[in-house]
Structure 1
Amino acid sequence: MDLPNEDDPILIELQAAHSDIKTLIKASVDMNTSYGKMDEKFEYIQENLNMASKRVAPLQSLSIAAKALETRINRAVSPGLALLESFKLFESLQRNLLEIASGLLAEKNSRKRLEKLIRYVDCVDKLKEAIVCISRESDPAIQKLQEVVEFLSRTKATDRYRTERLRETLITLKAICETEVDSMSFDGLLDEALLNLQDEYEGLLKKLRHQNIGEHQGEAVDGKYLVSNSLGSELEVEVLRRISETLAANDCLDICIDMFVKVRYIRALKL
């Protein structure tokens, strides 16, 4: 039998194919080994993730609980903050009212004084509205804050320092509302402003050109009197209207009527 020729192309191709197959098999074995190691690493990573998840889960629960507590506290504090803003507005209106009152005392021009008097009435109305707003907001604000303080004290959901701060805020807010709200309405600048408006109202009534019974106002034409309906200037009448509305809104309507009757009575006596 003849030995194969080493230069035979077929033999060369077979040898090359054999070498490639060995290389491929070795690469496959190496790849399987690598895959095995990767599987081990993945299993290790999975175990670590599972352990981390178990450790993080309580932290997530604590985080959710903390956010819920923060939301509850913010909701309880928000009405109190709004109430403090109302107090700031009230203080600002008081300063504005005092400035206008000072300008009224110094003003000598009749028309300019009437215009400032309208501004004064506007400020009184806003001051009254601010007091009503404070009165309306005070009880709900105190109640909300008291509820959250009681909850925190009962459950120990937050640190003691924060609970104490909220409790001190509650005590302060209660004290302010108890001492300030009533004095705003009855002993404060609003009461003084209403007294000033009563004086202004009476003074303007005395300036009006009232028509008494049996008295003719106007010019005589063809033996008849053309009666004038003018009580005063439009601005004077407007100021009187605004003052009367403000006084009526503050339970002073009877005083307006008494002053009007008094002025009419005095005028009738002078006839």
Structure 2
Amino acid sequence: MAESTGVDRGIQSLIAARKSLKLSLEKSKAIGLALGKTGPRFEEIEQRLPLLEAAVRPIRADGEALKDVGGNINRAVGPAAAVLKVFDAVHGLEKSLLSDPKNDLSSYLSVLKRLEEALKFLGENCGLAIQWLEDIVEYLDDHHVADEKYLSNLKKSLRGLSEFHNDGGGVEEKERSQLRLDGGLRNAALDKLENEFRRLLKDNSVPLPMASPSSLGDQACIAPSQLPVTVIHKLQAILGRLRANNRLDKCISIYVEVRSSNVRASLQALDLDYLDISVSEFNDVQSIEGDSV
């Protein structure tokens, strides 16, 4: 009987120990889950610490430096903001300049002139804006009023902009720089003007009329032909813009080509087929005439 009682007590002790272990395991699991949820929060806090440190750094900076930094930043950002505004305006002209100039030549030329003025402004002020931004970044670095990593990224970006803008002083380098500013928009617009110049000449050129033989003797000749005044004004306006962009030579070639074609068509009325005789045939004729003499 005593042995039975001892066994029962042992079993009860084991059961109690089992329950205790089970509770301990459950608590351990709960603690593990809690730690698992807390881990990402610790990582988030760790990631935010550098930002907090950077935010606090200006408080530790020199008072005079903090007092002047706002005005210096505004003076540096002003030219850069103006450049960006003009750059956006350039892209705003794209739709108008990619249209056909024959629809409204006067407006097209006006928009092109605005583009030229904008590109001139960008060419003269991009370098200045970059220099001002570099100066303010150097000021922030010298007075320790900004995060070092942030300043490093700014310096890298400004260095890339400076190299992008200053790639040499030759003609080809300047042309490449202009292409980067407008994406080739000005060249595309000038090409359209050259095509319009050609179209105006072709559409208003007809074979030249023959003058009356009675008024000019027995020999027929080609009477002079003039372009309409409105067409001449349009051609002159186009030439003005092309001359301003050093594209006059192409217009001269177009004019010679179109007018020469018109003259060739006019000469067909003069019955000048004998001019098509080959050199060998011409020599044969000369030899025959010489023999007959």
What secondary structure is seen at the aligned counterpart in 2 of 1:142?
helix
- Could you tell me how far 1:245 is from its partner in structure 2? 1.0
Equivalent residues, number: 188
The 3-state SS of whatever aligns with 2:67 is helix
The answer to whether the aligner puts 1:87 opposite 2:99 as a matched pair is no
**Superposed, which structure 2 residues align to 1:23-102 within 5 Å?**
65-98=65-98, 101=99
Q: How much does 1:97 deviate?
A: 2.5
Q: 1:74–1:164: structure 2 CA closer, same or farther, 3 Å change rule?
A: farther
Structure-2 change in CA distance of 1:76 and 1:259 (3 Å): same
SS at match of 2:246: coil
Q: Following the alignment from structure 1 to structure 2, what is the Cα–Cα distance between the partners of residues 202 and 266?
A: 12
Q: What amino acid is aligned across from residue 97 of structure 2 in structure 1? A: L
> For residues 185 and 245 of structure 1, do their structure 2 counterparts lie closer, same or farther at Cα, with a shift above 3 Å needed?
farther
* Residue 132 to residue 151, structure 1, CA distance change in 2 (3 Å): same
Say if 1:94 and 1:189 are closer, same or farther in 2 by CA, change over 3 A. same
| TM-score, reference length from structure 1 | 0.57
Counterpart among 99, 107, 111 of residue 119 in structure 1: 107
2:239 aligns with 244
Distance 1:185 1:82 in 2: 15
Q: Distance in 1 between matches of 2:254 and 2:143?
A: 62
Q: Deviations over 1:234-267 (max 9, x none)?
A: 2x22321221111111110111112122222222
State how far apart, in whole Å, the 1-side matches of 2:227 and 2:64 are: 71
Q: Highest CA radius of gyration, 1 or 2?
A: 1
SS in 1 for 2:104: helix
What do the CA deviations read for 1:97-120 (whole angstroms, capped 9, x no partner)? 23xx1xx3xxxxxxxx74513222
Q: Match of 1:76, as an amino acid?
A: A
* 1:137 match: 125
Tell whether the 8 Å contact from 1:131 to 1:181 is kept in structure 2 after alignment: no
1:198: which partner in 2? 194
Contact 2:137–2:151 (Cα < 8 Å) also in 1: yes
Q: Deviations over 1:65-96 (max 9, x none)?
A: 43322212211121111111111111111133
Give the secondary structure class of the aligned counterpart of 1:78: helix
Q: Which residue of 2 aligns with 1:263?
A: 258
TM-score, normalising length: structure 2: 0.53
Opposite residue 251 of structure 2, the aligned amino acid is C
Rounded Cα–Cα distance in structure 1 between residues aligned with 2:69 and 2:181: 37
Counting only pairs closer than 5 Å after superposition, residues 93-242 of structure 1 correspond to structure 2 as 93-98=93-98, 101=99, 104=100, 114=102, 116-156=104-144, 158-160=145-147, 163=151, 166-167=154-155, 170-171=158-159, 173-174=161-162, 177=165, 181-184=177-180, 188-209=184-205, 230-234=226-230, 236-242=231-237
Secondary structure at 2:228 match in 1: coil
Cα deviations by residue, 1:13-38 (Å, 9 ceiling, x for unpaired): xxxxxxxxxxxxxxxxxxxxxxxxxx
Aligned Cα root-mean-square deviation (Å): 3.6
**Contact 2:119 2:181 survives alignment (8 Å):** yes
Unmatched segments (≥5 aa) in structure 2 = 1-58, 168-175, 216-222, 268-293
Q: Which amino acid aligns with 2:263?
A: A
| Structure-2 change in CA distance of 1:232 and 1:216 (3 Å) | farther
Cα separation, partners in 2 of 1:230 and 1:166, compared to 1, 3 Å: same
